[in-house]
Structure 1
Amino acid sequence: MLNDIYQNLDPIAFAAGPFVVRWYGLAYVVGFALAAFIIYAVARRWKIGMNEDNLLTLMVCAIVGVVLGGRLGYVLFYGDGYYFSHPMEILAFNQGGMSFHGGLVGLLAGGAVAAKLTRIPFLTLADLGAIAAPMGLFFGRCANFVNGELWGAPTDWPIGVVFGGAAGMMPRHPSQLYEAVLEGLVIFIVLFALSRKLPPRPQGTFVGAFLVLYGIFRFLIEFVREPDVQLGYLWGGWLTMGQVLSVPLIIGGILVLIYAAKRKLPQQGSREAQQGSRETPAS
Structure 2
Amino acid sequence: MKNELFHLGLLTIHAYGLMIAIGVLIAYKVVVYRAEKRKMELSPIYGLIIWGLFGGFVGAKLLYWITQIEAIVEQPKMLLDLSSGFVVYGGMIGGIAAGWLYCKKQRIHFLRHLDLFVPSIALAQGFGRIGCFLAGCCYGEETDHWLGITYHESHFAPHDVKLVPTQLFSSVFNFMLFFILLALARRKRADGFIAGMYLLIYSVGRFIIEFFRGDVIRGSVGALSTSQAIAIPVFLCTCIILIWQVRQFRGSLVKH
Paired with 2:126 and 2:169, the residues of 1 have a C-alpha distance of 10
Aligned to 2:104: 116
Query: Is residue 11–residue 22 contact of structure 1 (8 Å, CA) maintained in 2?
Result: yes
Relative to structure 1, is the Cα distance of residues 112 and 177 closer, same or farther in structure 2, using a 3 angstrom cutoff? Answer: same
> CA-atom RMSD, angstroms?
2.0
Match of 1:256 among 236, 241, 248: 241
On the 8 A contact 1:71/1:90 being kept in 2, the answer is: no
Q: Are the aligned partners of 2:218 and 2:225 in contact in 1 as well (CA < 8 Å)?
A: no
Percent of residue pairs bearing the same amino acid type: 26
User: Post-superposition shift, 1:85?
Assistant: 4.6
Partner in structure 2 of residue 277 of structure 1: none
- One-letter amino acid matched to 1:247: I
With over 3 angstroms needed to count, the CA separation of the structure-2 counterparts of 1:156 and 1:147, relative to structure 1, is: same
* Structure 1 position 88, deviation (Å): 4.8
Task: Render the CA deviation track for 1:33-68: whole Å, top value 9, x for unaligned.
Answer: 222222222223333x222x2121011101101111
The separation in 1 between residues aligned to 2:33 and 2:248, in whole angstroms, is: 25
1:50 aligns with 2:50: no
Q: How many residues align?
A: 247
State how far apart, in whole Å, the 2-side matches of 1:109 and 1:55 are: 15
Aligned with 2:203 (options 215, 223, 238): 215
Give the distance between the partners of 2:172 and 2:142, measured in 1 at CA. Answer: 20
How far off is 1:264 after superposition?
2.1
1:106-255, aligned counterparts within 5 Å? 106-164=94-152, 166-182=157-173, 184-197=174-187, 200-229=188-217, 231=219, 234-235=221-222, 238-255=223-240
- Structure with higher RCO (Cα < 8 A, 6+ apart): 1
Identify the residue that residue 81 of structure 1 maps to in structure 2: 70
Q: What is the CA distance between 1:227 and its match in structure 2?
A: 3.9
* Greater Cα shift, 123-132 or 99-108: 123-132
Q: Which residue of 2 aligns with 1:16?
A: 8
Partner amino acid, structure 1, of 2:142: P
| Partners of 1:170 and 1:60 in 2: CA distance | 40
Using the TM superposition, give the Cα deviation of residue 123 of structure 1 relative to its aligned residue in structure 2, in angstroms.
0.9
Distance, in Å, in 1 between the alignment partners of 2:240 and 2:33 is: 28
Describe the SS at the equivalent of 1:179.
helix
**TM-score (norm: length of structure 1):** 0.80
The structural deviation recorded for 1:230 is 7.2
CA gap 1:45/1:241 in 2 versus in 1, 3 angstroms: same
> Deviation of residue 89 (structure 1)?
3.0
In structure 2, stretches of 5+ residues that fail to align are 251-256
Higher Cα Rg: structure 1 or 2?
1
Structure 1: how far apart are the matches of 2:88 and 2:27?
A: 16
Preserved contact between residue 13 and residue 23 of structure 1 (Cα < 8 Å): yes
Q: Is the 8 A contact 1:150 1:176 kept in 2?
A: yes
